[in-house]
Structures are given as C-alpha cells and as structure tokens.
Structure 1
Amino acid sequence: MTSLAATCPTCGRPGTPIVYRDLDGPIDLVCSEGHQWRAAGRAGWAPYASPTAVEHDETTPTEAMDVSKDGRTWRIGTASDVAWLAGRTTQGLSVTTAIPPVFEAYGTFHRPEGVEYHAHERAVIDELVSCTPDQPWWLGFLDTGAHDVVFPCAARVSLYGDWSYVLVQAGPEQALTWRVGHMRGGDGALPDLFFPADRSWLVSALWDDTWTDIGASGAVLTALRRNPLVNARLVGPDEDACPPGLTRD
C-alpha cells in the first residue's frame, strides 16, 4: 500500500525518490507524470535544486506554460527544471563541459560511418528506453538561429555559456519525430539536450561538437556500448571528450 508521503499531491500517483538531487537540498520525489514534491516531513513544494543557479531575465520563464502539438498540450520548461544542471558544468575539453560531474559514468556517441541518422538515433533512444522506467522526458532544443527548435515562439531557458534552449516535457517518440535537422547533421532529429524526469541520465551535445556526451549509470553506458549502431565509448571525467577520428570546429 502506498503511503501518503509517497503519493503525488497533484495527481495521486505513486512517487519515487529522484536519482539525482541537489546534495544540499531536500530529498524530493517524482511521480510518473513528472510532478515533484518534498519528501515526508518537509512541508511545501520545492524544486530539485536551488533556482539561484540560474539568472532570470526576460527569456527565462519562471512559470510553466503549455503549447499545443499533435492534438495535445505539452509543458514548456522553466529555469527551475534545469537548475540542477545550470552552473554545474566545468570549462575545458572534458565531458563535464556538457555533463555535470554527478554521474557514475560518462561517455560519448556519434553516428557510425555508413549508418543512416534515423537508424543511429533510433538505436540510442531504444537503449535509453530499455534502461529507464516509464516517465516523462525533458527535451531541449538549442536556439542557434539556424536549426529547428520545434516551438519557435516558446520561452527559453539559459544554460552553459548563456545559450538559449526551448525545453519541453514530452517523451522518447517526440525526441525522434518532432525536429527537422540539428547541428550535428542535416538529417538528424534528436534534441541537443534531454533527460528523464528522475534525472538518472543526461544527454547533451554542445554547439560546436559533432558528437554527443552522456552521463549516466554504468549499466546505461554498458547497454549503449553493446549496440554498434549507437557507437558509444566510455570517457573519464577528466579526459578530452573528442572521440578518435573527430575534430572540433
């Protein structure tokens, strides 16, 4: 029987502890719909991490909004949804330039030579789905001015070097079908940044990189590495993240 402390106060669904949380913050819970609340004994609502990690301006929304697509509404993310990530990455050439140093393992992946984009990206998503409990995913589309952000009129959140992203709560199928073209290849569809509601992994491709970085558990990285269509490799947190055979622009 689910205790009241583990029942979502918004929708009544069972909640589970998030995998990644602010080490100085409360122990928060999340339900399958992505609603968040404080653990038992802690009154009130709280974000996963301190919102002071992000500076708010006219492009950084502080209240959630909805957009319409495919006959339904989708939630646009706010600064609080990425506060656990904002300001937590490092500068330099390592994988932690894209991924905060909070995960068990790190890696990179990119499309293998001779493999079509749709096959490579479907393999990536299929492996992540197989390792992740059913829940919403956050999809982030980097606004480069030259690539599709899916919802061009939506408010942005700011990450990394003050880059603007459209962040939307959706799922794996939307990650594969919504976008038309990305900065890593004209036929690619994947978001530039995405992670599940429990933050058990993070996928992020930086503006100038032709590969994608990931932070996750060792089990997730093992699953990705076993699939030749994913073309993943392990990277140490202090190593140069650039895969062999690729170069930085």
Structure 2
Amino acid sequence: MQLSKDGRKWRIGAAAEVEWIAGHTTAGTSITTAIPPIFDAYATTHQPDGVTVAAYEHALVQDLTAQTPEQPWWLAYLDTGPHDIVFPRGPRVSLYWNWPYVLIEVGPEQALTWRTGHMRHGDGSLPDLFFPADRSWLVSALWDDTWTCLGGPEPLINTLQQNPLANTRRVRPDEDALPPGLTRE
C-alpha cells in the first residue's frame, strides 16, 4: 500500500516489516523491553537539560545518518489518539503490547520534518520507533517513557556517546534502562 504526502507516494509498512521486533522483546525494565536482544550494543538517550528539542533530535538523526549506508528508513508513529501519526488513515501494525503504529518507508529527512509534536516533547518531531531497511539499528521510545532506547553496532553507540547533544548512555541488555535523574511515570 502507498499513501501520498509532499507530492510523493510513500510505502506503508505491514507486519512483515516489524516481525523481527514483534514478539522478540521482553516485559520489564531492561532495554530489551523496547529493543530485541539481537544487537552488539545498547543505549538510552534523552534530551539534555539546556538543549532544545530540535538540537537534540537533529544531533541524534545526524549521528544515525552518518553511521548508516544510504538506504530507506522505516518510521513508525504510535497511535495514541491525540498525537500526530502523519498518516491518520494508514493501516496499523501491532508492536509491544498490541500498540498500534503507522509504519512508513521514507528517509532520515522525514524523521525530522513530518511530525508536529509528540508525547515526549510537545514540539518534537521524531517518530516513536525507527530503523534503516537493513535493520542494523533500532530506535524505540515506549509510550510511557520520557527517554529513548536504541540498539545497534558498537561504532554507532560509541559515536552517539561522544556527542553531548545526543546525551547517550550505554546499558547492558539486562540492566534497567531508566537513565539517571529520570523517573518512571
């Protein structure tokens, strides 16, 4: 299925595109609640104090883009009702606890421009979940978390850790993903 936006037709994803995630996470407080235990390295990231949402999100996407060969990205927007999901009439895929997401195959530039506000940062634009077509990394922010989880190759996590705007903290798969100084809702 394809839907139109910005004068182009975009491929809408189905369950097959997220089957590698669905059913492969574990309930709890570890990073594997959001990210399947298939990556070399794991980390959490969140907007640092004193940094704008735009600067934080641009830093994250810039580092992800720099560490990823050119290819399409899958962006997924969680349908919570009041929050922008970009394609409100698009079909949904279920992830985690049967949460409905709209999944679109696009590029990294759409990750920073399509959404107008989301639940973690009122004026942010990032999707709730995104990954490149080769599935070399996964970024996922669960509905009730104020931070974002990611899994990927060691060099990617190292790059993100070196960028103060990305505010990235490495975690082990069995470790509580809650970043220091934040609380659970």
Report the TM-score, using the length of structure 1 for normalisation: 0.74
> What is the aligned counterpart of 2:118 among 162, 172, 182?
182
In structure 2, the residue corresponding to 1:177 is in which secondary structure? coil
Counterpart check, 1:168 vs 2:104: yes
Shift in Å, 1:183:
1.2
What is the rounded CA distance, in whole Å, between the counterparts of 1:238 and 1:74 in structure 2?
A: 37
Q: In structure 1, give the amino acid aligned to 2:155.
A: A
Q: In structure 1, give the amino acid aligned to 2:8.
A: R
Q: In structure 2, give the amino acid aligned to 1:85.
A: I
Alignment of 1:8-87 (within 5 A): 65-87=1-23
* Matched positions, count: 185
Shift in Å, 1:146:
1.7
What is the rounded CA distance, in whole Å, between the counterparts of 2:146 and 2:96 in structure 1?
A: 17
Q: In structure 2, give the amino acid aligned to 1:219.
A: P
Compare CA radii of gyration and give the structure with the larger one: 1
Q: Which runs of 4+ in 1 moved over 2 A?
A: none
Q: What do the CA deviations read for 1:123-172 (whole angstroms, capped 9, x no partner)? A: 00000000000000000000011210000000000000000000000011
Shift in Å, 1:213:
0.1
Alignment match, 1:216: 152
Q: In structure 1, give the amino acid aligned to 2:152.
A: A
Q: In structure 1, give the amino acid aligned to 2:148.
A: T
In structure 2, the residue corresponding to 1:145 is in which secondary structure? coil
Alignment match, 1:240: 176
Q: What do the CA deviations read for 1:30-76 (whole angstroms, capped 9, x no partner)? A: xxxxxxxxxxxxxxxxxxxxxxxxxxxxxxxxxxx000011110000
**Any gaps of 5 or more consecutive residues in structure 1?**
1-64
Alignment match, 1:146: 82
Alignment match, 1:159: 95
What is the rounded CA distance, in whole Å, between the counterparts of 2:48 and 2:36 in structure 1?
A: 26
Alignment match, 1:125: 61
In structure 2, the residue corresponding to 1:220 is in which secondary structure? helix
In structure 2, the residue corresponding to 1:139 is in which secondary structure? strand
Alignment of 1:201-212 (within 5 A): 201-212=137-148
What is the rounded CA distance, in whole Å, between the counterparts of 2:85 and 2:184 in structure 1?
A: 23
Counterpart check, 1:110 vs 2:46: yes
Q: In structure 2, give the amino acid aligned to 1:143.
A: D
Q: What do the CA deviations read for 1:172-221 (whole angstroms, capped 9, x no partner)? A: 10000000111111011000000000000000000100000000011000
Counting aligned pairs with the same residue, the percent is 65
What is the rounded CA distance, in whole Å, between the counterparts of 2:175 and 2:17 in structure 1?
A: 28
In structure 2, the residue corresponding to 1:119 is in which secondary structure? helix
Larger RCO (CA under 8 A, 6+ residues apart): 2
**Any gaps of 5 or more consecutive residues in structure 2?**
none
